[in-house]
Structure 1
């Protein structure tokens, strides 16, 4: 497993990040998955206070109990569940963030969070107030670094200009190359890492039947999946090839993959022993489908 620095921080995370949202409710099974992930070299675990109304954080706290020093733990903030549980509201104010971190720390059974991320964001938010909240938490030692989870170029630009973010979590895959339009270059120039989620494009690049996806037709999706299978050949699996494609792009520091079974875990961690994706293979894949652009969220 390779480890990459997150932005200008002192965090170093594994090529493969463990997306905890996909974990189901069998804690005994999940313990085996988490223990095997750590044994395989995965050290980056990503959750959010929103997932399962906080229960995902609680479960991760229990599963990592006694192993905290081996892990880089990330969670997210900004969404507040309604009192009746019917949904959530966007609540990115300073006071809310500073209060919410205490709940996350308690659920995660830790006294610090390695990477605290704003879970979304709009250009209408009180951005300076949000940044102030994160800076206060860094000063207090409750978080080591902060970033945002966003696909909005305009919002990302504001945080790059005005804050000390070290990372942006965003969708990035062969079937979602919208960040290449402007965001990737912006982040690379400012030494801010990308945490790539969705590298399998909801499984469409790893065996699920083709269907429309984002701006792509089912036929275009199938063409991309066929290219992935061709490049994979007998050297690696389709899912490994798709994840390698995302990791090949700078400044991607980790491909955060949702994992719910040991089989999924073993397939993705076998990337460490699979044949490296060559520059020619990466180019072939890129040519298999035209890159998209953001038509909203600008």
Structure 2
């Protein structure tokens, strides 16, 4: 009997869109992780859809719009088969070091029009606020996003890197379908308040970097091994003594992988998927890859179930990780969560 390799479909939020239980992060197809092979990346998009992946995630900041333009032909070819997610809020300029956050109404309206044009579509399925500017009231930001739903430019709303209290505040203005934040064996800040709030409200959780930006796979053990232009070289947990200490934390991941005849990446992803049962909410991670072979490896993780004993072995890892996720953690929900 041939094994079914198509992944399960779930609902993103109460009354939200249907999507595969695992999505695809498209960021690395344009920048941040070194050189990319565009032809291979396009093959990966098609392979993902064939495997039942239907949530495709991008943002206007990725490649300063280039990532949205890159996936536009794929979107056009499969518009009715996919759930298209993009984001606004991170502003870039000609200065490659500059990053700003904007949540004001004028910027939101300008951003959505630019994304619609680059993506070549009349409607965005899931539109995220990429980062929160606490100086702008949620009533203004989420209210402006809600207008886009009313106008038919956006179907569902999402937030990224917000606290549980912020999620509830936003939800009071307009229903939120999904919350996207970093969540993995290496990063569990979201469990302080955001996960519980999402479960309470029926908001789907979309973990980004569920593979610890590749570190959990064993693909690299120190940023010095990465190619020029890879932004992971500037993340504290991947350099120097931090990298050495963190690499040693992966021993139980490798041991469990051997038991299952799986890869460390698959065990790390299986752990994320299993948090749906642990916390009582829908969890749809979006590991990024540019290779069809890695895509097949990642989706196979949806069919792995870890035992309670294995979960217990993995439990302490996050609390022992050395170094922050970003050089500047003020951009994350962890900086605002008590």
TM-score, structure 2 normalization: 0.79
Distance 1:153 1:291 in 2: 24
Structure 2 vs 1, CA of residues 289 and 127 (structure 1 numbering), >3 Å: closer, same or farther? closer
Aligned residue-pair number: 296
C-alpha contact 1:153 1:297 (8 A) present in aligned 2: no
Match of 1:278 among 307, 319, 336: 307
What does residue 287 of structure 2 align with? 257
CA distance in 1, matches of 2:317, 2:56: 32
Partner of 2:208: 197
Q: Residue deviations 1:21-56, cap 9 Å, x none?
A: 011454322221111111111111000011111110
- List per-residue Cα deviations over 1:5-27 (Å, max 9, x = no partner): 11113312212211010114543
Give the aligned partner of residue 336 of structure 2: 297
1:50 aligns with 2:56: no
- Give the secondary structure class of the aligned counterpart of 1:106: helix
Distance 2:96 2:244 in 1: 40
- Give the gaps of 5 or more residues in structure 2: 1-6, 31-35, 224-235, 325-332
Counting only pairs closer than 5 Å after superposition, residues 39-188 of structure 1 correspond to structure 2 as: 39-82=50-93, 87-153=98-164, 155-188=166-199
Q: Does 1:237 align with 2:267?
A: no
SS in structure 1 of the partner of residue 23 of structure 2 = strand
Per residue, is there more helix in 1 or in 2? 2
Higher strand share: 1
Distance in 2 separating the partners of 1:96 and 1:296: 24
Of 206, 209, 226, the match for 2:251 = 226
Q: 1:96 to 1:289 in 2, by over 3 A?
A: closer
RMSD: 2.6
For residues 232-272 of structure 1, the C-alpha deviation after alignment (integer angstroms, 9 at most, x for no partner) is: 11421110110111111132421111112223222212224
Q: Distance in 2 between matches of 1:287 and 1:175?
A: 10
What SS is found at the alignment partner of 2:157? strand
Contact 1:223–1:289 (Cα < 8 Å) also in 2? no
Q: Check conservation: 2:208, 2:287, Cα contact below 8 A.
A: yes
Does the 8 Å CA contact 1:170/1:197 hold for their aligned counterparts? yes
- Measure the CA separation in 1 of the matches of 2:100 and 2:249: 36
Shift of 1:119: 0.9
Report the Cα distance in structure 2 between the residues aligned to 1:238 and 1:155, rounded to whole angstroms. 34
1:7 aligned partner: 13
Seen in structure 2, the aligned counterparts of structure 1 residues 252 and 206 have a Cα distance that, compared at 3 Å, is farther
* Unpaired runs of at least 5, structure 1: none
Equivalent in the alignment of 2:232: none
TM-aligned CA deviation for residue 281 of structure 1: 2.0
Secondary structure of the structure 1 residue equivalent to 2:59: coil
